[in-house]
Amino acid sequence: MSDLKNELLTIRKVFQNEVLSIRTSTEADSLRVKFLGKKGELTAVLRAMGSLTAEERPVIGQLANDIRTEMEDTLAMRLSQVRAMEKAEQLATQTIDVTLPAQPVSMGARHPLYKAIDEICEVFLGLGYVIAEGPEVEYDLYNFEKLRLPKGHPARDTQDTFYITENILLRTQTSPVQVRVMEANKPPIKVVCPGKVYRSDALDSTHSPIFHQIEGLVVDKGVTMGDLVGSLQLFARKLFGENTKIRLRPHHFPFTEPSCEVDLTCWSCGGKGCRVCKGEGWIEVLGAGMVHPEVLAGCGIDPEIYSGFAFGIGVERTAMGRFGIDDIRNLYENDIRFLRQFK
């Protein structure tokens, strides 16, 4: 019995010496294995306890347990000291150079279509318009009927679209927003509405089944065609330069009377005639007119008291002219090499 007891006391002494010389947490680990592990010295003594008598066993067992607990506590304490030393050492030797140049962050840029939308809206916001919005999934009622395009009207053929149900479709124009704005507000009204529109057209260099328009609507007492011309002249000059002129050609839209298509002097040749304007000197950019009295009345606005003008600007056309893009498909392909030019 005293052999085992002496052995235990020796182990404890050796351990206490060795624990003091530990300098790293790895050393602490090896010490734990050496003394307390499955094949460790203390475990070996416990195994030998089988040879003891029934009286001796609890005494030595108790001593062994006390020594184990003591060793574990000592080791834990030493380990936390060693860890603190390691941390202090690390802080003293490792420095971070905050003056090193960082990896450059690559920045995206606004898409040319949205740049054009911003530029156009900016002109009208400057004239006191506010931005209006409407749904892209629209009722036939708003997209067509309230704009005087009843079912079966031939002008519907030029605006074939994608139907969700018989009465719900992807809007073919931003003009339905006019109706929504007039139904919800009393004059004076002055809004621009940028947005996506849809038509079942095949994609080629000048057509896309999804494109963008900016609708404009002004309703008040005494609004005239002259006001329309003034606003559009300003739009043309701000986007394409002071020398840009506009030209109104008579046209027909069911929701305006009179109606016109509006051309701008060619942004490429300034009006002399070139490849871009196909020798015309002019490029068509929008449709416009005086809001039809029946449309006003249909939205609860008395056409005897109020009048209004409206216009619908083709955003793709404008963006292509503004940034010198010759194929509409470039705007949708998301080719980084193309888009990067508009940073």
State in angstroms the smallest separation of the CB of 277 from ligand DAH.
Answer: 20
Place of tokens 């010295």: 41
**Least distance from C-beta 315 to ligand DAH, angstroms?**
11
Nearer to ligand DAH, 156 or 245 (CB): 156
Candidate segments 16-24, 77-85, 239-247, 285-293, binder of ligand DAH by CB under 6 A: 285-293
How many C-beta atoms surround the C-beta of residue 219 within 10 A? 25
How far is Cα 119 from Cα 125, in angstroms, rounded to an integer? 10
Q: Which is nearer to ligand DAH, 12 or 171 (CB)?
A: 171
Is residue 307 part of the contact set for ligand DAH (CB under 6 A)?
no
Distance CA 189, CA 312 (A): 16
The only residue of 256, 265, 307, 318 in contact with ligand DAH, by rule CB under 6 A: 256
- CB-based contact 219:189 (threshold 8 Å): yes
Residue 175 makes contact with ligand DAH by CB under 6 A: yes
Single out the segment in contact with ligand DAH by CB under 6 A; choices: 13-21, 52-60, 123-131, 284-292.
Answer: 284-292
To ligand DAH, the closest distance from the beta carbon of 224 in angstroms equals: 14
State the minimum distance, in angstroms, from the CB of residue 212 to ligand DAH.
11
- Options 48-56, 201-209, 294-302, 307-315: segment touching ligand DAH (CB under 6 A): 307-315
Residue 195 within binding range of ligand DAH, rule CB under 6 A: no
Between 267 and 311, CB nearer to ligand DAH: 311
Which residue, 42 or 120, is less far from ligand DAH as judged by CB? 120
- What span, in angstroms and rounded, lies between the C-alpha atoms of 28 and 78? 8
Asked whether position 143 contacts ligand DAH by CB under 6 A, the answer is no
Distance (Å, rounded) from C-alpha 180 to C-alpha 176?
6
Binder among 265, 307, 311, 325 for ligand DAH (CB under 6 A): 311
| Contact flag: residue 124 with ligand DAH (CB under 6 A) | no
The β-bridge relationship of strands 130-131 and 189-198 is: parallel
Size of the site for ligand DAH (CB under 6 A): 11
Measured from the CB atom, the residue of 75 and 319 that comes closer to ligand DAH is 319
Q: Give the shortest CB-272-to-ligand DAH separation in angstroms.
A: 28
Q: Cβ atoms within 10 A of the Cβ of 194, count?
A: 23
Listed residue (229, 191, 225, 223) closest to 308, CA to CA: 223
Distance CA 167, CA 146 (A): 13
Closer by beta carbon to ligand DAH, 75 or else 193: 193
By the 10 Å C-beta count (0-12 exposed, 13-18 middle, 19+ buried), 34 is classed as middle
- Minimum gap (Å) between residue 178 Cβ and ligand DAH: 6
Is residue 316 close enough to count as binding ligand DAH by CB under 6 A? no
156-160 contacts: CB < 8 A, separation 24 or more?
159/199, 160/199, 160/200
211 near ligand DAH, rule: CB under 6 A: no
Which two tokens mark 38? 């499955």
3-state helix, strand, coil in the chain (%, to 5): 45, 20, 35
134 touches ligand DAH by CB under 6 A: no
305, 166 in Cβ contact below 8 A?
no
Cα gap 106→309, rounded to integer Å: 45
Does residue 289 belong to the site contacting ligand DAH (CB under 6 A)? Answer: yes
**How does DSSP classify residue 107?**
P
Q: What are the residues binding ligand DAH (CB under 6 A)?
A: 173, 175, 215, 253, 256, 287-289, 310-312
